Amino acid sequence: MVERELTQDQIKEFEEAFLLFDTDCSGTISIDELEVVMNSLGQRPTDEELKRMIAEADADGNGEVDFEEFLSLMKKQMKDMDPEAELRELFQVFDMNSDGKISAVEVQTIMSQQGERINNEELQELIREADLDGDGFINFQEFKLFIKNLEQDPESPPGYLVQK
């Protein structure tokens, strides 16, 4: 699989996550800090599991993870992700009734749940753009193409609707 470079937005998100882990602001994540975060997420890893998690990211072998090591780990995690499976999961979020297609009502509901206001005209434009076979719904293949086009040009109509 082709290794993806991180965008500035992704780096910023990972930096925010790193700072949450680095509770003592030392610039590194220790086993103790990792344990606190994991516990706060409802996870109860053993000491052995915590050591293994740190070791996976700890390139210099000092027993802690600095930001560069954390970024490398995140980049590896992203590389290991299956883009098709990710898209399928996202499609399933929008396909609320699991009928294999996304309706305008489902798009509007999800957008609303995300705090995005979209008027009927914008909604219809978005559906028209994505609905290649003209049946009034977005199937998975149409969804994949729509997302691919958005990734290539987020400012193009109706990408600006999703990006605002």
Each residue's pLDDT tens digit, 7-39 = 888 889 889 889 988 989 999 999 999 888 777
Residue 159 confidence class, pLDDT cut points 50, 70, 90: very low
What is the signed CA dihedral for 59, 62, 67, 73, rounded to 10 degrees?
30
The residue among 17, 155, 151, 38 whose CA lies nearest residue 86 is: 151
Looking at residue 99, its pLDDT comes to 97
Question: In CATH terms, are 8-80 and 83-161 the same topology?
Answer: yes
pLDDT at 44 over 90: no
CB of 163 within 8 A of CB of 154?
Answer: yes
pLDDT at 154 over 80: no
CATH number for domain 8-80, candidates 3.20.20.80, 1.10.8.50, 3.40.50.720, 1.10.238.10: 1.10.238.10
Per-residue pLDDT tens digits for 58-107:
999 999 999 999 888 878 767 666 778 778 888 998 999 999 999 999 99
CATH code, residues 83-161: 1.10.238.10
